[in-house]
Each structure stands twice: as structure tokens, then as C-alpha cells.
Amino acid sequence: MNILIDLLPTSVEVNSIEYEINSDFRTSMLFELMMQESELEDKEKILQALNLYFPNVPKDIDMAINKILWFYSCGKSTESKKGVGKGKAVQIYSFEYDDDYIYSAFLDQYGVDLQDIQYMHWWKFKAMFKALKEDNELVKIMGYRAMDLSKMKDKEQKAYYKRMKDMYKIPNNINKDEKEKINNIEAILIGDGDLDKLL
């Protein structure tokens, strides 16, 4: 698929049947947020994804999921990206925690009010998101998050970027049990909990 030549898809073909797909950018944002949610089991994520994208869910679930992933990745193959780089990829933006920065960046650069706009195709949104200019606050923040401090020699520079990384760090999604443990520890530390239950 080529955004300059091809019409952007609002449907996908599953076993020779055309199915409408929810192509608005908000749907794919919700999908991404849901996939990052640690409290949901994989089966629940699959069911929610199908209901999120398809007004009429196809019978062939495996192919429907493949079509969702194809649509979410804007028709681009993820094959070429496999094996590139080492270790875990660093998350440099979050639709949940950077919502105000994203909103402001689109308004500033494109004059697009993401609150007022009724519909924007996900692929258009992604193209615009990728092309945000360096002077947007969001792009600066993503740069801090992506920065590899191990390659910096200058101590002052390294300390500055470490502060920036810490300041703009995306909070981890922790599961319900871990949240409960943290709450119990906090209660104990302020003298309001039962240490025996924790041990």
C-alpha cells in the first residue's frame, strides 16, 4: 500500500468477503493502549480487538487478527524490522500520558484540532505523527526518551539527559496484584498496614 497512490482502506477482505473496519485514528489508539494493558489476558485482548475494529466480526478469527495487525501497521510489512537492533525497544511515546502534547503538536503544526475533527483515517494520522517537527515539545520529549546515555562521554551532558529521561519517563503498566502489593507497602510505611500480611 502507498498512501500517495492507493485509496486508504476502510474495509478488509477475509476469506473473499469484504468487512468494514473502523478506520478512524481513535480506534487504533485504543487498540494500542489496550495491547499495552498488563491486566488484560491475551484472549481478552483478542476479543476486544475484534469488537473494536469490526462492526461485524468475521468467522475466521486468525485471519481477522492478521488483517487488524496489517491495518494497524498502515499496510507496511513488519518483516524487514525483525532482528534489527538489540534488546527491548524503548517506548518513546504514549497515547495515554502524552495526550496533551500530541493534541498541541497537531494543533500547532497542522492546525488540526483532534477534539473537533469528526474523522481522520489512522494511516493519515500516523503519517502526520511521524512528520512532526523537532521544535514540537512532544518530539523533544521523545528524543529524551530515546537517548542512549551509555554513549555519552561528557558527565554534565549525561547528567542533564538523565534528568530529562527521568522527568519524562512513561510510567510502567503494572498488574493488579503488583498495584495491591505497592499499596500495602505504602500503608505499612505510613504505619497504617499489617506487616504480617505482606510477609
- Please write the tens of the pLDDT for every residue from 101-111: 999 999 999 99
Query: Do the domain assignments include residue 83?
Result: no
Residue with cell 476502510: 10
Query: Do the domain assignments include residue 175?
Result: no
Per-residue pLDDT of 85-121, as tens digits, reads: 445 678 999 999 999 999 999 999 999 999 999 999 9
The CA distance from 125 to 128, in Å, is: 5
* Domain shared by 68 and 111, yes or no: no
Query: Do the domain assignments include residue 25?
Result: yes
Per-residue pLDDT of 37-51, as tens digits, reads: 888 898 999 999 999
Mean pLDDT of 134-163: 92
Q: Which residue range is the domain that position 122 belongs to? A: 99-167
What are the DSSP calls for 15-49, one per residue? TTEEEE---BHHHHHHHHHHHT-TTS-HHHHHHHH
Is the full-model pTM beyond 0.75? yes
The CA distance from 37 to 40, in Å, is: 6
Burial class, 138, CB count within 10 angstroms (exposed 0-12 / middle 13-18 / buried 19+): buried
Query: Do the domain assignments include residue 38?
Result: yes
Count of domains for the chain: 2
Query: Do the domain assignments include residue 24?
Result: yes
* Domain shared by 72 and 105, yes or no: no
* Domain shared by 72 and 32, yes or no: yes
Query: Do the domain assignments include residue 94?
Result: no
The CA distance from 78 to 198, in Å, is: 44
